[in-house]
Amino acid sequence: MPKRWIIRRYDHELAQSISRSAQISELMAVLLVERGIRTSHAANAFLNANLREHLREPFLLPGCCEVAEHLLEAIRRQQKIVVYGDYDVDGMTGIVILRQTLSDLGANVDYYVPSRLDEGYGLHSEAIVKLAQSGVEVIITVDCGISSIEEAKTAAEHGVKLLITDHHMPGAELPNATAIAHPQLVRLAEQYVSVQSLTPEEVKLATKYPFPSLCGSAVALKVAWALGQLVFNGPGKPVSPQFRVRLTEMLGLAALGTVADCVPLQDENRVLVRGGLPYLCSPKTSAGLKQLLAVSKYVEGKTRVDSEYVAFQLVPRLNAAGRLGQAGLAVELLLSNDLAQATKLAEEINELNESRKILERRITKEAEQQIHEQFDVENDPAFVLSGDWHRGVIGIVAGRLVDQFHRPVILFGKDKMGNIPVVGSARSVSGFNLYAALQSCRQFLIRFGGHEAAAGLMIDAMAIDLFRTAFCEVVAQRITAEERIAELLIDGFFPLGAFTRPTVEQILTLAPFGNSNPPPIFAANKVLVKNPRTMGKENNHFAAEFHQHGVAFRGVAFNRCNWCEEMQPYNEPIDIVFKVRISDFNNRIELDILDWRRAT
């Protein structure tokens, strides 16, 4: 679908001032100003963010020390502890952080991951009862539990001490757990409460954590850190050298979970990822991580383990296990220090990922066919599709279709046996509140949950057509034709000659890139295209050489093989939008082409 090119606005005088005072290039100053940096001090702090100065002590995190104190008591009493986590990468890495920490400290500990296909997300009363019957006395959650009101009652009824660590939005009522560690809770009158339960006057009096956007594995890391402090020297005091080594090794897992969960890469999250990613491929990393890297196109000394590599190579492989109902395999891999076992598990997970890709391609092709056969591609405000589709994969496909068509998309995965209810996954475009739209159609749904950008839902198969009509009507009322056109936010037009090696290396210091810290996007006009061609095993990618004023760069575009045919007739210049990077393959500057048009 066509995209609207939007050039970011910025304060020229401020950029020049920061360039001079921070002693950085004007291009870098422009990029920082466009990302909200207003002073040279802030610029230096952003460019030189480090763990020692910018990672906050765990005692500042609401409820963190209280959770750690109860864990320490459970360790000393040798109570049976279970770490109960979500089946996505954030949950998996958080499980490993706490499971390993507790084990190192002599705890009687195991873990539990619910099946995505059989149980679904979050705490389940049935699982709590089963764990209690097996002798479990303490359950600590990772990446779930903050909305588990009834499940907390079940735990209490069965004599299980429930400790919750989570980062999802808390409701006005909190579960009656033994202790809760959560970055969005606030302190009022010596209690941690949800801000949703307070009056505006109480909100002003409450004490808040400075950065409420930590992911689940980062919260787990803080709890592990707090536990280490309690064991050795007390809150706010240094841990033992041996325990500090273990914590630094776990920084890689927290960084992996942070990238995977798409939380804002600002403040502590950026520090965690920036400082933690090197530990993923350090010599001391676990056998499991080493074998995961081995099956993920990692070449020592060549592969740059940045947020993009993590997001496109490591995360999909681990998530594939969770999506296909085998998240336990991924947890076992991350825990493993046995080379033979780790090699076998990594190969199994890689095979699951290949199966996931095959499923994804099939579902995408069938969904695209439905769109073109049953919808007005140009004018329909949303697409609600259904088919014999694996419910662990439909969310990925929905996201891809949103990127492709730039409108809300819902996919329902029908059971081959025709069983009901049917599970669905929804994704939305930026600026459209998907959750509010589903609330307006809730009479057709059995249940749903999520947020503005993504949601899961369940429906009777016979109600899908009625829901489709109602949902599309709601979207049509709330989203304009202009809002259906995707926008590309561009940092500015620059000649290709501006992207020298030193300049590109400086641009890359803005990394890690991700949510709320996007990679810089540039445009160049009147560029000549030479030798457009397809590439990849299935010839589904695009490559060409782009020339301007005597400067040439190779450019690639993934899943854009159609551009090859579209560009073939062009002997005239075009305008391009692109990102710059340094290729792991040949260590040269390369362009990631995002869009193009006839030269203006």
Output the pLDDT for position 569. Answer: 65
Output the pLDDT for position 81. Answer: 98
Torsions phi, psi for 487 (to 5 deg): -115, 140
Question: Which band of pLDDT confidence, cut at 50, 70 and 90, is reported for residue 417?
Answer: low
* CATH 2.40.50.460 applies to domain 488-600: yes
Of 212, 224, 215, 214, the C-alpha closest to 249 is 224
Cα dihedral sign, 313-316-318-324 = negative
Question: Which band of pLDDT confidence, cut at 50, 70 and 90, is reported for residue 244?
Answer: confident
Distance CA 26, CA 218 (A): 35
Cα dihedral sign, 310-313-319-321 = negative
Across the range 15-35, mean pLDDT stands at 91
Output the pLDDT for position 585. Answer: 83
Residue 450: CB atoms within 10 Å: 16
Question: pLDDT (tens digit, 9 = 90+) per residue, 391-401?
Answer: 889 999 999 99
CATH assignment of 375-486? 3.10.310.30
Residue 408: CB atoms within 10 Å: 29
Distance CA 296, CA 541 (A): 19
| Residue 379 buriedness (CB in 10 A; 0-12 / 13-18 / 19+) | exposed
In sequence order, what DSSP letters do the residues of 59-71 get, joined into one string? GGSTTHHHHHHHH
Distance CA 476, CA 482 (A): 12
Distance CA 202, CA 188 (A): 8
Across the range 432-448, mean pLDDT stands at 93
Write down how long the chain is. 600
Structure tokens at 66: 């209280």
Q: Is 10 left (phi over 0), alpha (psi -120 to 50) or beta?
A: beta
Burial 582-596 (b: 16+ CB within 10 A, else e): beeeeeebbbbbbbb
Burial 503-539 (b: 16+ CB within 10 A, else e): beebbbebbbbbbbbebbbbbbeebbbeebebbeeee
Q: What percent of the chain has pLDDT over 90?
A: 76
Taking a C-beta distance cutoff of 8 angstroms, is the pair 380, 345 a contact?
Answer: no
In sequence order, what DSSP letters do the residues of 490-507 get, joined into one string? E-EE--GGG--HHHHHHH
CA distances from 479 to 377, 384, 473 (A): 15, 16, 10
Distance CA 584, CA 491 (A): 25
SS (H, E, C) 7-51: ECCCCHHHHHHHHHHHCCCHHHHHHHHHCCCCCHHHHHHHHCCCH
Across the range 376-382, mean pLDDT stands at 92
Question: pLDDT (tens digit, 9 = 90+) per residue, 26-78?
Answer: 899 999 999 889 999 999 989 998 998 899 999 999 999 999 999 999 999 99
Residue 158: CB atoms within 10 Å: 15
Question: pLDDT (tens digit, 9 = 90+) per residue, 461-493?
Answer: 999 999 999 999 999 999 887 778 888 999 999
| Residue 4 buriedness (CB in 10 A; 0-12 / 13-18 / 19+) | exposed
Strands of the sheet containing 422-427, edge to edge, are 383-387, 409-413, 422-427, 454-459, 447-450
Output the pLDDT for position 119. Answer: 82
Question: pLDDT (tens digit, 9 = 90+) per residue, 135-153?
Answer: 999 999 999 999 899 999 9
At 258, is the secondary structure helix, strand, or coil? helix
**Domain at 58-238, CATH class:** alpha beta
pTM of the model as a whole? 0.90
Across the range 529-547, mean pLDDT stands at 90
Distance CA 520, CA 507 (A): 8
Taking a C-beta distance cutoff of 8 angstroms, is the pair 390, 424 a contact?
Answer: no
Taking a C-beta distance cutoff of 8 angstroms, is the pair 66, 190 a contact?
Answer: no
Distance CA 400, CA 394 (A): 10
In sequence order, what DSSP letters do the residues of 96-160 get, joined into one string? HHHHHHHHHTT-EEEEE---TTTT-SS--HHHHHHHHHTT--EEEEES--TT-HHHHHHHHHTT-
Burial 248-269 (b: 16+ CB within 10 A, else e): bbbbbbbbbbbbbbbbbbbbbb
Output the pLDDT for position 418. Answer: 55
Across the range 258-283, mean pLDDT stands at 93
Question: pLDDT (tens digit, 9 = 90+) per residue, 229-238?
Answer: 998 876 667 7
Output the pLDDT for position 512. Answer: 94
Fill in the amino acid letter for 159.
G
Look at the block and give the residue holding tokens 């409108």.
Answer: 407
Across the range 338-364, mean pLDDT stands at 96
Residue 198: CB atoms within 10 Å: 16
Output the pLDDT for position 420. Answer: 67
Measured distance between the N- and C-terminal CA atoms of the chain, rounded to whole angstroms:
19
Output the pLDDT for position 480. Answer: 81
Distance CA 416, CA 407 (A): 28
Across the range 522-546, mean pLDDT stands at 92
Q: Are strands 3-7 and 409-413 parallel, antiparallel or unpaired?
A: unpaired
Distance CA 310, CA 307 (A): 5
pLDDT over 90 at 19, yes or no: yes
Question: pLDDT (tens digit, 9 = 90+) per residue, 275-304?
Answer: 999 999 988 899 999 999 999 989 988 899
Q: What is the mean pLDDT of the chain?
A: 92
Residue 449: CB atoms within 10 Å: 14
